[in-house]
Every structure is written in C-alpha cells, then in structure tokens.
Chains A and B, each alone.
Chain A
Amino acid sequence: DGGITQSPKYLFRKEGQNVTLSCEQNLNHDAMYWYRQDPGQGLRLIYYSQIVNDFQKGDIAEGYSVSREKKESFPLTVTSAQKNPTAFYLCASSIGTGRSSYNSPLHFGNGTRLTVT
C-alpha cells in the first residue's frame, strides 16, 4: 500500500538541540514538501524538492535544513536556530514537477508533533 511515512509521531527535545524528522514515500513521486502547521494558521511551506539532490526554500526556511539524497526520502532537520520549533510538521509529495505541479494533489503523511522545552 503506497504512501508517506513520517516518524516518529511524537518527538520531544530540549532547547538548543538539533532534531531530524524522517519522511519516506513509496509513491515514486518526484516532488516532496515540508509544511509546518500551527493552531489557527494555514500550513506554511518550509522547503520543497522537485528532484534528487535539489531543493528550494519555502516561505519559512530559517532555522531548518533538508537533504534529498534519494527520491524516496526527504528528512527535515530542525536546528537550534529555529526560534519557535514546537509545531506539527507535515511531509507531502506530489507526482508532478514544474507546470504539471499545478494540478497534482499533495499526498500527506500523518505528521510529527515536535515539542521543544
């Protein structure tokens, strides 16, 4: 059964520590995305990648880093530079890239809830 797997579901870290969130997909999708969701706000794009070894900053990339060494994997690192890291993080993928990304729906994982204290 194809889909996107995010792990772990809950993650707790101390302030000042870097933490990496895992995202794996077996949908053979080219494009992958990381969003952050906070209460009362829309999903905000952190980073996206259209192809292996290439990625672009989204609207709130500061304090985050990503890698795309394999098509199936797009891990997100929340660094100590991120001022307000506690949030619900969602990974997504879509089949299309470029102009075809317009009409390609996003497939989401079930998220990782990160709490930093």
Chain B
Amino acid sequence: SQKIEQNSEALNIQEGKTATLTCNYTNYSPAYLQWYRQDPGRGPVFLLLIRENEKEKRKERLKVTFDTTLKQSLFHITASQPADSATYLCALGGFNKFYFGSGTKLNVKP
C-alpha cells in the first residue's frame, strides 16, 4: 500500500529564515500533490497543488517542488513569520481519493 512520510519531529526556525518541509512517498505514482496547513483544533486549509509534470510551483512566499524520480516534494516558506507556525500536511491525489501524510509541525520563533 502507499506510504507517505513527513518528518514527525517539529521544525523550529527563527523568524525571517526559510522553512523547508519534506514529503516522501512510496508505492504510488500520484498525478498531483497538494499541501495543506492545519492549525490546532481546525480543519486543514489548502495551500498549493503541483502536477507531476511541474517541477516547481510558487505562491507568494510559498514554493513547492515535486521530484517524481526521488518520490519527494519539498515545501518552502521564505521569510518565515510567527504566524506561519502550524502543522503542514502533504496529500497525494488519487482517483476520488487523497492520501495524507501525518504532517510536520512548524514553529517560527520571533
């Protein structure tokens, strides 16, 4: 079965630095990969989608890369702010299904 791995340890960085989160997957060839943000006690919020034929996607301070050879996606937040502190989930797109990683908690310290 497919397996999606995100670093379970929290990522602690200083305000203004670039945060990089990793999503690795096995036993799957998704056509799409999505990233979501989840705050405590709330539902995930969609951030970015990247297709298998796209190497990189940007939206404001966010950048996502998708390497289908390495089976890996990297999610970058540049010029990070304390308000970026949250858990970030990656999700692989399947036919009428999305498979989610367990998320990585990001702490941005002022």
Contacts and interface: CB of A to CB of B under 8 A. Distances in A.
A40 B43 contact: no
Contact of B102 (A6, A41, A50): A41
Contacts of A109: 43
Interface of B: 4, 8, 31-32, 34, 36, 41-46, 49, 51, 89, 91, 93-103
Contacts of B100: 35, 42-44
A86 B100 CA distance: 20
A86 B34 CA distance: 27
Q: How large is the interface on A (under 10, 10 to 19, 20 to 34, 35 or more residues)?
A: 20 to 34
Given A42-B101, A43-B89, A110-B43, 10 more contacts: A33-B98, A42-B89, A43-B91, A48-B97, A58-B97, A102-B95, A105-B34, A108-B45, A110-B42, A111-B42
A97 B42 contact: no
Interface of A: 4, 6, 31, 33, 35, 40-45, 48, 50, 56, 58, 90, 92, 97-99, 101-103, 105-111, 113
B97 A45 contact: yes
Contacts of B49: 103, 105
A111 B97 contact: no
A3 B32 CA distance: 24
